[in-house]
Structure formats: structure tokens, C-alpha cells
């Protein structure tokens, strides 16, 4: 009998009229080290390494890791439920092209893949006539009933004595460069880059001082920071100053659409 998590996922895929799903070890920020709520691969397979991908099809599933995790994956993952592969020898994309059929509808979470990765999967599925389908919400989240809450650790200022340069000074440099290059704004989705730009630190990921958030930096030096309001304190607001505004994470997509329409 298949692993209970795998059975639950397949039932949800069937409900969503999908025959497969791609599960990478990452989160919506493309981090390698994840908060517990983003450990979908570990929930599905039991694998706790920092890199890997699982592909679930209707009648079989594959688990792919690099050479660092050959022993660990064999120890943690049920080989009756998942075939185990060294990704340096057989990539997930190659495996899909060999296993998928023209009737397959293989889902993916758009927030968890880079354009380059999706292009490789697109080519692999097209070779056999299968369809790659973006999911509005991650099917795993619908069946992971004890999934941890999103982290909401308070964001703290990173003092000038440690950063060596004020956030305003950094933003002024970018603003001048943007004006020279006729750039209206930059979209920043890497938490470490935002932490550097705004001189802030977080506690959302163990042993990694990252605040999970997104930002838009405008040529004026103004920043829109998309972050859980639980992470914001009056001290942080004073540290960031009036040129940094706050918005909910769910408002990020609308802000991108507005930026694309109006600049």
C-alpha cells in the first residue's frame, strides 16, 4: 500500500482532475532552507534534505536527489511508494518524458518554480503530448491537515554600526542608477536582498536571519514592502522611515499588475 500522504495527494489530484504533480524542495521565495509550513516534500516523502524533487503520477512516483543525499534518501523514503533516482543521472524532466502519457495533466505550483525549470518541464511533457497545468493553490496544502502556520517572527532593525551604510543611502544610489537607465522600479523577491537593502533581519527560517517578504523599489527611493503585519513593530517603522510603506503579501500580485499597466 502506498504511503498515506501519497494516497491523500493522489485523491486530491483526482478531485482537481489532475493525473500528476511536481513537488520541489523550495518555497515561494526560492529558498533552500525552509520554514516548517513549506516542507511539502518532507511531508509527502519523509525526506528532510535541503534539495530534491518528487514527481507523483497516477500509478507511480519518483524521488530525485543529487549525490549528497544518496544514503539519506534511501533511509528516509519508502521505496515501495517512490522510485529513487540520482538527479545527475536521471533528471526529473527526463523521467517525466519517459513516464507521462498523452492523456496526463501534470500540475505544478507556479510559486515554486523558476521560469527555466518550468521550460524544461514544458519541453518534457510536450514531447509525449502531456499537459503541464498551473494550480491556483497547492494540492498538498488541501490534504496536509496539520500543516504548521506561516512564520510571523518580528522583523528587527540591523543597526548602522553593523551594516556600514544606511538603507536610505543604498536606495539613493539605486535611484540615481534607475534614473540614468530610465527604470521605473525593481521587483525584489529574494528575502536576503531585501534584508540587505532595508537593513533588517528576521527569524522566519531557522539559523537564517531572513524576513520572508517581497518588495518593490521605485526610482524615487520609495519602497513598498509586502509582509505579514504581525512582523511589523513601531520600532521597525521608525527604523525604515516614511519612504517605506507596508502592504499585505496577498496584495503583491495586484501591485505587479498595476506596475505593468501604469509603470
Q: What is the mean pLDDT of residues 97-120?
A: 96
**How sure is the predictor about 60, in pLDDT bands with cuts at 50, 70 and 90?**
very high
Burial class of 116 by CB neighbour count within 10 A (0 to 12, 13 to 18, 19+): exposed
Measured in degrees and rounded to the nearest 5, phi and psi for residue 126 equal -65, -30
**Distance between start and end Cα atoms, the chain:** 54
Q: In terms of DSSP H, where are the helices of 145-233? A: 160-163, 167-181, 191-198
Residues 213-262 have pLDDT tens digits of 999 999 999 999 999 999 999 999 999 999 999 999 999 999 999 987 76
Residues 173-192 have pLDDT tens digits of 999 999 999 999 999 999 99
**Grid coordinates given for 86:** 540520482
The answer to whether 229 touches 246, Cβ cutoff 8 Å, is yes
pLDDT at 1: 54
5: left (phi over 0), alpha (psi -120 to 50) or beta: alpha
> Can you say whether the dihedral through the CA atoms of 225, 231, 234, 235 is positive or negative?
negative
**Grid coordinates given for 188:** 525584489
Q: Which CATH class is domain 4-143?
A: alpha beta
Three-state DSSP state, 214: strand
**How sure is the predictor about 3, in pLDDT bands with cuts at 50, 70 and 90?**
confident
pLDDT at 262: 66
Nearest partner of 111 among 241, 252, 243, 258, judged by Cα: 252
Residue intervals in the chain for CATH 3.40.350.10 = 4-143, 156-262
Give the span between the Cα atoms of 64 and 241, in whole angstroms. Answer: 46
Topology of domain 156-262 in CATH is: Creatine Amidinohydrolase; Chain A, domain 1 (3.40.350)
Inform me whether the pLDDT recorded for 2 exceeds 70.
no
Q: What is the mean pLDDT of residues 52-59?
A: 97
Give the span between the Cα atoms of 226 and 84, in whole angstroms. Answer: 39
**Grid coordinates given for 154:** 518580528
Residues 62-108 have pLDDT tens digits of 999 999 999 999 999 999 999 999 999 999 999 999 999 999 999 99
**Grid coordinates given for 122:** 514544458
**Grid coordinates given for 186:** 525593481
Amino acid at each position: 500500500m502506498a504511503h498515506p500522504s501519497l494516497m491523500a495527494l493522489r485523491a486530491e489530484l483526482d478531485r482537481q482532475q489532475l493525473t500528476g504533480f511536481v513537488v520541489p524542495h523550495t518555497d515561494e521565495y526560492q529558498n533552500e532552507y525552509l520554514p516548517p509550513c513549506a516542507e511539502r516534500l518532507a511531508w509527502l516523502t519523509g525526506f528532510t534534505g535541503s534539495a530534491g524533487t518528487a514527481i507523483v503520477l497516477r500509478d507511480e512516483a519518483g524521488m530525485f536527489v543529487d549525490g549528497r543525499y544518496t544514503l539519506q534518501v534511501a533511509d528516509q523514503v519508502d521505496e515501495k511508494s517512490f522510485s529513487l533516482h540520482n538527479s545527475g543521472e536521471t533528471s526529473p524532466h527526463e523521467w517525466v518524458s519517459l513516464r507521462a502519457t498523452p492523456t496526463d495533466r501534470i500540475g505544478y505550483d507556479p510559486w515554486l518554480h523558476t521560469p527555466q525549470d518550468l521550460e524544461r518541464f514544458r519541453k518534457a511533457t510536450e514531447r509525449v503530448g502531456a499537459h503541464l497545468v498551473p494550480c491556483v493553490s497547492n494540492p498538498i496544502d488541501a490534504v496536509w491537515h496539520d500543516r504548521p502556520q506561516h512564520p510571523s517572527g518580528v522583523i528587527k532593525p540591523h543597526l548602522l554600526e553593523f551594516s556600514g551604510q544606511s538603507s536610505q543611502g543604498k536606495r539613493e544610489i539605486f535611484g540615481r542608477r534607475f534614473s540614468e537607465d530610465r527604470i521605473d522600479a525593481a521587483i525584489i523577491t529574494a528575502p536576503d536582498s531585501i534584508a540587505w537593502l532595508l537593513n533588517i533581519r528576521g527569524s522566519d527560517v531557522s539559523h537564517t536571519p531572513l524576513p520572508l517578504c517581497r518588495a518593490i523599489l521605485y526610482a524615487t527611493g520609495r519602497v513598498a514592502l509586502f509582509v505579514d503585519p504581525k512582523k511589523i513593530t513601531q520600532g521597525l517603522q521608525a527604523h525604515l522611515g516614511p519612504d517605506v510603506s507596508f502592504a499585505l503579501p496577498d496584495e503583491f500580485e495586484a501591485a505587479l499588475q498595476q506596475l505593468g499597466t501604469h509603470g
